[in-house]
Amino acid sequence: MRQRIIAALGIAGLAATGLVACGDDSGSGSGSSGGEKITIGIKYDQPGIGLKEGTNYTGMDVDVAKYVAKELGYSEDNITFKESPSAQRETLLANGQVKMIFASYSITDARKEKVSFAGPYLTAGQDLLVKADNTDITGPDALNGKKLCSVTGSTSAQKVKDKFAKTVQLQEYDGYSKCVEALGAGAVDALTTDNTILAGYASQAANQGKFKVVGKTFSTERYGVGLKKGDTETCTKVNDALKKMVDSGEWQKAFDKNLGPSGLKLDAATNPPKTFDACA
- Is the same domain home to 103 and 232? yes
Contact 197, 211 (CB under 8 A): no
Flag whether 118 is in a domain.
yes
- Is the same domain home to 47 and 65? yes
CA distance 224 to 102: 7
C-alpha to C-alpha distances, 172 to 3, 34, 52, 119, 248, nearest whole angstrom:
74, 43, 22, 28, 40
- Is the same domain home to 113 and 133? no
CA distance 171 to 156: 12
- Is the same domain home to 165 and 197? yes
> What is the spatial order of strands in the sheet that 79-83 belongs to?
79-83, 38-42, 100-101, 221-228, 115-124
- Is the same domain home to 114 and 241? yes
- Is the same domain home to 209 and 86? no
Flag whether 270 is in a domain.
no
Among candidates 134, 129, 103, which has minimal Cα distance to 221? 103
Flag whether 31 is in a domain.
no
CA distance 238 to 222: 16
The domain containing residue 248 runs over which residues? 38-124+222-262
CA distance 149 to 11: 67
CA distance 213 to 127: 7
Rg (CA), the chain: 23
- Is the same domain home to 44 and 120? yes
Give the pLDDT confidence score for residue 114 in this predicted structure.
97
Give the pLDDT confidence score for residue 29 in this predicted structure.
39
Tell me which H or E stretch contains 247: helix 232-248
- Is the same domain home to 104 and 49? yes
CA angle 57, 60, 61 (to 5 degrees): 75
Flag whether 213 is in a domain.
yes
Each residue's pLDDT, cut to its tens digit, for the chain (280 residues) gives: 444 444 444 444 444 444 333 333 323 333 334 789 999 999 998 999 999 999 999 999 999 999 999 999 999 999 999 999 988 999 999 999 999 999 999 999 999 999 999 999 999 999 999 999 999 999 999 999 999 998 887 778 999 999 999 999 999 998 888 999 999 999 999 999 999 999 989 888 888 889 999 988 999 999 999 999 999 999 999 999 999 999 999 999 999 999 888 878 888 999 999 999 999 8
Give the pLDDT confidence score for residue 151 in this predicted structure.
86
Flag whether 161 is in a domain.
yes
CA distance 161 to 175: 20
- Is the same domain home to 256 and 201? no
Flag whether 189 is in a domain.
yes
* Count: domains in the chain: 2
3 state DSSP class of 129: strand
- Is the same domain home to 148 and 258? no
Backbone region of residue 278 per phi and psi (left: phi > 0; alpha: psi in -120 to 50; beta: other values): beta
- Is the same domain home to 68 and 106? yes
- Is the same domain home to 78 and 56? yes
Flag whether 144 is in a domain.
yes
End-to-end CA distance of the chain: 66
